[in-house]
C-alpha cells in the first residue's frame, strides 16, 4: 500500500491503548517507527518488551518525562510517528560499565566497522539513557572515531529521579545503559537555544570530577554557589530540602572559546558539593546565570526562525511538497527543566515553534540532556536548552 504520513498519540497510560496505536502504525504502510512514551505510564516491562521485540517494522525511541505534539504538552501517554524509509538503527549497549576512553573507543570502533564507518551517512538522531554518567566521553569518542563530520540531534530519556531503568526502545526490546543512533535518509538541520544570561562571575572551578563540582574559588562549591545567590536575591537555601526549587532558576554557564555559554544545571547537593547535569572541567571559568521566562521563549523563537529559514516557501506550492530536498519532519528535544522552570508558560515555547514550523510533522520529547553540534562541528551535551531538528 502507498504510504501516507502516520502520526498517532494517546493520553492514556494503559498498555492496551498503546498496543492499539502500534497495530495502526504497523498497518499504515510505514517502514520505520519512532516511539515515545511518558515515563510515568509505568507499562508492565515484560509486556512492553514483548510488543517491541515482536514488531515487524524498524523501531527506535524511548521513555521520556513528557512529550510534545505541535503546540500541545503530553504528560501521560504515548506518541508514534511512521516513516516511509527503513531507517538504519545502531545500538551501543552497556555503556555504564565502560569507564575509560580505551574501552569506549573499542566499542565504538567495532560498531563502526560493522556499519562500514557509516559511509555515506552523515545525519543522525541520538537517543540515550540519561542515567549514563559517561555520555560525554561517548560522544567525544564518537566524534573522534568518525573520519567525517556528522549532523546530529538527540536527547536523554529516563525519569526525573535519575534512577536507572530500561528506557530506550529498539526491535530488541527495552534497553538501559544504552545509546541508539538512527541514520536519516535526508539532510538534518538543527538549531539550539537556551536564553540564559550571566548574573555573576566568573568563578574558578578549582576541584571537580565529571559531573561533580567539589570546590569553586578553592572553597566548597555549594557554599560559594548558595552564598552568591542568597546575597543577590530573596532565596534562602535549606540544603537539600529546597535546593532544586531555587537552583532551577540559576544554572551555571561555561564560556567556550567562541564566547558561547554551555549550560550546566545543578541538580542536587551533597557534602557541600554540586552534582550537575553534565561535566564541568577543572580550571574552567563558570558563571551563575539567570533569565526571565520571556527571554527563554524569545531565544526559542529565534532558533525556530533559524532552522526553518528557507523552508517556508517549499510548502506554499503543493507541487513541491514531494521534493526530496524538502524537510517534512521536525523533532524537538526540549530540556524538561525548562518546563519545570516556566511551568504554565512553557506551552508558549511550543507555540512559537509551531508558529514558524512549515513541516507537516512537529513533535518532540522533554529530555534529560540534549545533544547537538556546536559551531565547530563537535558534538556537545547541553542542559536547560532546546534542540530543534528538521529533516
List, for residues 209-236, the tens digit of each pLDDT value.
999 999 999 999 999 999 999 999 999 9
Three-state SS for the chain is CCCCCEEEEECCCCHHHHHHHHHHHHCCCCCEEEEEEEHHHCCCHHHHHHHHHCCCCEEEEEEECEEEECCEEECCCEEEEEECCCCEEEEECCHHHCCCHHHHHHHHHHHHHHCHHHCCCCEEEEEEECCCCCHHHHHHHHHHHCCCCCEEEEEEECCCCCCCCCCEEECCEEECCCEEEEECCCCCEEEEECCCEEEEEEEEEEEEECCEEEEECCEEHHHHHHHHHHHHCCCCCCCCCCHHHHHCCCCEEEECCCCCEEEECEEEEECCEEEECCCCCCCCEEEEEECCHHHHHHHHHHHHHHHHCCCHHHHCCHHHCCCCCCCCEEEEEEEHHHHHHHHHHHHHHHHHHHHHCCCCEEEEEEECCEEEECCCCCEEEECCCEEEEEC
Q: How many CB atoms lie within 10 A of CB 157?
A: 30
Peptide bond into 202 cis (omega under 30): yes
- What gap in Å lies between CA 22 and CA 254, rounded to an integer? 43
- b (16+ CB within 10 A) / e for 267-303: bebeebbbbbbbbbeeebebbbbbbebeebbbbbbeb
HSE-up (13 A, CA, CB side) for residue 102 = 0
Q: How many angstroms separate the Cα of 268 from the Cα of each of 100, 129, 246, 365, 382?
A: 25, 19, 11, 23, 17
**pTM for the whole thing?**
0.93
User: CA 105, 212, 152: angle at the middle one, nearest 5?
Assistant: 45
Per-residue model confidence (pLDDT) at position 311: 59
Residue 199 and residue 252 in contact, taking contact as beta carbons nearer than 8 Å: no
Rounded-to-integer distance, Cα 27 and Cα 214, Å: 54
CA distance 34 to 88: 12
* Backbone phi and psi for residue 320, each to the nearest 5 degrees, phi listed first: -100, -5
Answer yes or no: is pLDDT of 287 > 50: yes
What are the tens digits of pLDDT across the range 340-374? 999 999 999 999 999 999 999 999 999 999 999 98
Give the model confidence (pLDDT) of 134-180 as tens digits: 899 999 999 988 867 899 999 999 999 888 889 999 999 999 999 99
Amino acid 375: pLDDT: 84
- How far from 86 is each of 59, 67, 140, 153, CA to CA, in Å? 9, 24, 28, 19
Question: What are the extents of the domains in the chain?
Answer: 6-193+294-390, 197-290
Q: How far is CA 138 from CA 93, 141, 267, 284, in A?
A: 11, 5, 21, 21
The contacts of residue 325 (CB under 8 Å, 6+ apart) are: 187
pLDDT digits (tens, 9 = 90+) for 189-200: 999 999 999 999
- Name the average pLDDT for the chain: 92
Given a cut of 70, is residue 246 above it in pLDDT? yes
In angstroms, the CA 145 to CA 109 distance is 7
Residue 157 CA to residue 38 CA, distance in Å, equals 10
Q: What is the pLDDT of residue 39?
A: 95
Closest CA to 391 of 184, 83, 180: 184
Contact 190, 132 (CB under 8 A): no
295 contacts 195 by C-beta, under 8 angstroms: yes
Could you read off the pLDDT of 310-336 as tens digits, one per residue? Answer: 654 444 443 333 444 567 999 999 999
pLDDT confidence of residue 133: 86
Amino acid at each position: 500500500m502507498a504510504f501516507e504520513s502516520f502520526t498517532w498519540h494517546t493520553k492514556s497510560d494503559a498498555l492496551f491503548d498503546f498496543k492499539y496505536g502500534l497495530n495502526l502504525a504497523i498497518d499504515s504502510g510505514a517502514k520505520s517507527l519512532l516511539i515515545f512514551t511518558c515515563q510515568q505510564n509505568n507499562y508492565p516491562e515484560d509486556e512492553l518488551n514483548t510488543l517491541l521485540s515482536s514488531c515487524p517494522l524498524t523501531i527506535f525511541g524511548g521513555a521520556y518525562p513528557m512529550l510534545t505534539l505541535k503546540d500541545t504538552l503530553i504528560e501521560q501517554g504515548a506518541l508514534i510517528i511512521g516513516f516511509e524509509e527503513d531507517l538504519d538503527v545502531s545500538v551501543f549497549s552497556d555503556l555504564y560499565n565502560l569507564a575509560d576512553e580505551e574501552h569506549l573507543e573499542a566499542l565504538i570502533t567495532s560498531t563502526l566497522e560493522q556499519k562500514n564507518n557509516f559511509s555515506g551517512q552523515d545525519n543522525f538522531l541520538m537517543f540515550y539513557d540519561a542515567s549514563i554518567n559517561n555520555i560525554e566521553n561517548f560522544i567525544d569518542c564518537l566524534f573522534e572515531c568518525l573520519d567525517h563530520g556528522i549532523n546530529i540531534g538527540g536527547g536523554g530519556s529516563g525519569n526525573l529521579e535519575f534512577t536507572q531503568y530500561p528506557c530506550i526502545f529498539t526491535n530488541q526490546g527495552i534497553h538501559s545503559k544504552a545509546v541508539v543512533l538512527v541514520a536519516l535518509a535526508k539532510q538534518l538541520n538543527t538549531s539550539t537555544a537556551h536564553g540564559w544570561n550571566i548574573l555573576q562571575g566568573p568563578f574558578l572551578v578549582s576541584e571537580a570530577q565529571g559531573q561533580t563540582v567539589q570546590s569553586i574559588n578553592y572553597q566548597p562549591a555549594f557554599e560559594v554557589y548558595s552564598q552568591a545567590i542568597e546575597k543577590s536575591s530573596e532565596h534562602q537555601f535549606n540544603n537539600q530540602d529546597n535546593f532544586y526549587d531555587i537552583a532551577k532558576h540559576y544554572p551555571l554557564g561555561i564560556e567556550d572559546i567562541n564566547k558561547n555559554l554551555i549550560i550546566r544545571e545543578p541538580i542536587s547537593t551533597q557534602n557541600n558539593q554540586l552534582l550537575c547535569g553534565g561535566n564541568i572541567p577543572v580550571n574552567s571559568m563558570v558563571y551563575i546565570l539567570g533569565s526571565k521566562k520571556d527571554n527563554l521563549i524569545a531565544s526559542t523563537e529565534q532558533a525556530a526562525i533559524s532552522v526553518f529559514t528557507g523552508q517556508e516557501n517549499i510548502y506554499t506550492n503543493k507541487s513541491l511538497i514531494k521534493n526530496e530536498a524538502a524537510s517534512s519532519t521536525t523533532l524537538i528535544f526540549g530540556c524538561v527543566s525548562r518546563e519545570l522552570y516556566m511551568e504554565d508558560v512553557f506551552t508558549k515555547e511550543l507555540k512559537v515553534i509551531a508558529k514558524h514550523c512549515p513541516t507537516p510533522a512537529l513533535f518532540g520529547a522533554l529530555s534529560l540532556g540534549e545533544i547537538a553540534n556546536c559551531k565547530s562541528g563537535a558534538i556537545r551535551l547541553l542542559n536547560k536548552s532546546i534542540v530543534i531538528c528538521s529533516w
